Amino acid sequence: MTKEELIEIIARRVAKEFKDGNLVNLGIGMPTQVSNYIPEGINIILQSENGMLKMGPSPDKDKVNPRITNAGGQPSSILEGGMFFDSGFSFSLIRGGHVDITVLGALEVDEEGNLANWIIPGKLVPGMGGAMDLVNGVKKVIIMMEHTDKNGNSKIKKRCSLPLTGAKVVDLLVTELGVFKFENNKMKLIELQPNVTLEEVKSKTEANFEICL
């Protein structure tokens, strides 16, 4: 499976969580791809942390406007009726509880729903970004990530080893292998991705989880 195919599988499944009228924030990296897979007939408003409402899908190369980018600095589009604003207004939406769903990437998630996604100690990063605000100010937190790292080690841990972004904040985790829900500090496998077996998920997951298929 190529990286692009993997991202598409995860992004399509994440997009199924959206309902009409949702105000949805997409984080940098992999989550920005979700904008390309919104199900037909579902009307949502995408908010970009860098100051945009009604963000659209990635534009064709001949329609790129260098002044319109998503939170990761990649070319984006804006739909009719959309608006631009400053960081103060953007974080007022987030901290004020007005955003229904945020979709974020992760370095690690553990079985209690703890999230680590902002730093690997010893590596330079531009800053913690808005993830800490998002996981505390948004109604539902969805994490999308690869199930294992480049060495095949599980990124779904018994306990996060990296500095936390938020404690017990994850509501739903979607990987290329399955979908996990977090309730009462427990992780539950609720869905397998197509052509994936339960045995494969078990072998690649360090965390303990309940099976609720």
Amino acid in position 139: K
CB-count burial class (<10 Å; 0-12, 13-18, 19+) for 111: buried
CB 92 within 8 A of CB 140: no
Query: What is the rounded distance in angstroms from the CA atom of residue 105 to the CA atom of residue 27?
Result: 7
Longest CA span, the chain = 49
Which residues have a catalytic role annotated?
49
